[in-house]
Amino acid sequence: MYAQMIKSEKSNETPEELAAFQARIDRGERIEPKEWMPEGYRKTLIRQIGQHAHSEIVGQLPEGNWVTRAPTLERKAILLAKVQDEAGHGLYLYSACETLGVSRDELFEKLHSGAMKYSSIFNYPTLTWADMGAVGWLVDGAAIMNQVPLQRTSYGPYARAMIRICKEESFHQRQGYSVMMKMAQGTEAQKAMAQDALNRFWYPALMMFGPSDAESVHSEQNMAWKIKINSNDELRQRFVNETVPQAHYLGLTVPDENLKFNEETGNWDFSQPDWTEFFEVLKGNGPCNEERLGARRKAWDDGEWFRDGLSAYAEKSAARRAAVAAE
Amino acid sequence: MSKKEWPLWEIFIRGQHGLNHRHVGSLHAPDAEMAINHARDVYTRRKEGVSIWVVPSSEITASSPSDKGPLFDPAESKVYRHPTFFDIPDEVGHM
């Protein structure tokens, strides 16, 4: 659950200021909220952490879809706990983002208006229970691949949020794999369901890392600032290498005819996902874009009276306390 | 969009009996009571705590990053404040 294709913003600072800042980062120092930072660094981080936070929040929706239909009470409780974790992860990240001078409500508004994005993966539907397995195993697995290095990112509040998130994310991936194991060892029909889920989620999971950024100036800047640690291709390869044997253990087939272990490099060679599809989904034309944003907007609007009610109650009780104190 | 944003609270959790409360992060809530409820959900889902403090973020006064030198540098030259500064002969035994 994280950010894709983050453009770096330009800075207007002097070369000396920028060099001094870069030197701090190169020494491995962490940058903290009130300290001096280039405007470009600040804005790029708002975009990246904000998009990451939005992904956690929107990521609850495809899984929330199965809470009421989980096959057992235990699976239901586990799924509920996972969805609750995603909400928590979103909140840690919004807090980190707010230290950069943007409010959470502003970020919500940008999500709801479409001005800010969330990860493309959540615009795919979750059609069967096996999808809960595939999402945990592949989607959370891909997210972990990206998030583990980000624990060493240069911005203190972001790195600390990442540490907390990574601790919890491992539960998500393992619970997903456990669903997959159960399905893959089940009846023929259940095994077919597991295979179908892998078929549908494999390429969208590969897309989570974003298109190749080997030549990208944005990536270069973001890597220098240590808000991006590895290239997209590097992380994607790592993910494939780790995931293919896990699929084999399940007795499932990765939907890629070109998948082949390369003795020379020690990597699995694989086919690229359809990048035209990726850009379409990003533009808003994925299977579930409208549904996801619609659900977010509805939840925000329908909750307004409740948020306002709590504020009104807080104001009244503060006034009552002040009156008692004045007596 | 709700016109009024809930204020920000800093959250401190005591991990175990006998330990200090430690800052774990912040969150939004309309009042202190709700801040404790939210802190329970956001920061103690895995039994991370036995007690919660919530403080309005606006009430925190922080030292300025530019004061780092004047505030902390003087301690640098006072290594004698550490017990290992003094060599005690082995014959004296544990001290």
DSSP letters spanning chain B: --SSPPPEEEEEEE-STTSPEEEEEEEE-SSHHHHHHHHHHHH-TTS--SEEEEEEGGG-----GGGHHHHHGGGGG-GGGSGGGS---GGG---
**Residue B36 belongs to domain with CATH number:** 3.10.20.520
In a domain, B43, yes or no: yes
The list of chain A residues with pLDDT below 50 reads: none
pTM here is 0.93
Start-to-end Cα distance in chain A: 53
Q: What was the ipTM of the complex prediction?
A: 0.88
CATH number among 2.40.30.40, 3.40.190.10, 1.20.1260.10, 3.30.565.10, domain A15-274 = 1.20.1260.10
Q: What is the pLDDT of residue A288?
A: 96
Contacting residues of B for A85, CB less than 8 Å apart: 45
Of B30, B41, B62, the CB nearest to A310: B30
> Is A269 strand, coil or helix?
strand
Cβ of A314 and B30 within 8 Å?
Answer: yes
Predicted pLDDT at A13: 85
Which of the two residues, B1 and A152, has the higher pLDDT score?
A152
β-bridge pairing B21-28 and B8-14: antiparallel
Mutate to test the interface with B, among A100, A311, A315 (most CBs of B within 10 A): A311
As for how many domains chain B has, the answer is: 1
Select from A104, A160, A164 the Cβ nearest to the Cβ of B28: A104
What pLDDT is stored for residue B2 in this prediction? 47
Shortest distance between the Cα of A315 and any Cα of chain B, in A, equals 8
The alpha carbon of residue B50 is apart from the nearest alpha carbon of chain A, in Å, by 18
Residues of chain B with Cβ-Cβ distance to A304 below 8 Å are 1-2
pLDDT bucket at B3, cuts 50 / 70 / 90: low
Query: ∠ at Cα A125 (A121, A126), nearest 5°?
Result: 105
**Domain regions of chain A by residue span:** 15-274, 287-326
Touching check for B28 and chain A: CB below 8 Å? yes
For the residues B19-36, what does the mean pLDDT come to?
96
The predicted structure's pLDDT at residue A5: 73
Chain A contact present for B34, CB below 8 A: yes
Residue A247 C-alpha from the chain's centroid: 22
Q: Measured between beta carbons, which residues in chain A are less than 8 angstroms from residue B49?
A: none
Asked if residue B83 is part of any domain, the answer here is yes
Q: What is the pLDDT of residue A214?
A: 80
How does B29-59 read in b/e, with b if 16+ C-beta sit within 10 Å? bbbbebbeebbeebbbeeeebeebbbeeeee
pLDDT score at B65 = 84
User: B81: domain range?
Assistant: 8-92
Q: Name the strands in the sheet holding B51-56, side by side, starting at the edge strand that comes first in the sequence.
A: B21-28, B8-14, B51-56
CB < 8 Å from B in window 293-322 of A: 300, 304, 307-308, 310-311, 313-314, 317-318
Pick the closest to residue A41 from A222, A178, A162 (CA basis). Answer: A222
Cβ neighbours around A267 below 10 Å, total:
14
- Do residue A307 and residue B31 have CB atoms under 8 angstroms apart? no
Selected residue with higher pLDDT from A8 and B54: B54
Asked whether residue B1 is assigned to any structural domain, the reply reads no
Q: What mean pLDDT comes out for the span B44-50? A: 94
How far, in Å, CA of A120 to CA of A22, rounded? 32
CA distances to A154, A189, A251, B1 from A219, rounded to whole Å, are 15, 44, 37, 34
**Burial call A130-155: b when 16+ CB within 10 Å, e when fewer:** bbbbbbbbbbbbbbbbbbbbbbebbb
Q: For A95, which of B27, B31, B65 is closest by C-beta distance?
A: B27
Say whether A310 and B64 touch across the interface (CB within 8 A).
Answer: no
Q: Cβ contact (<8 Å) for A91 and B34?
A: no
Residue B3 domain flag: no
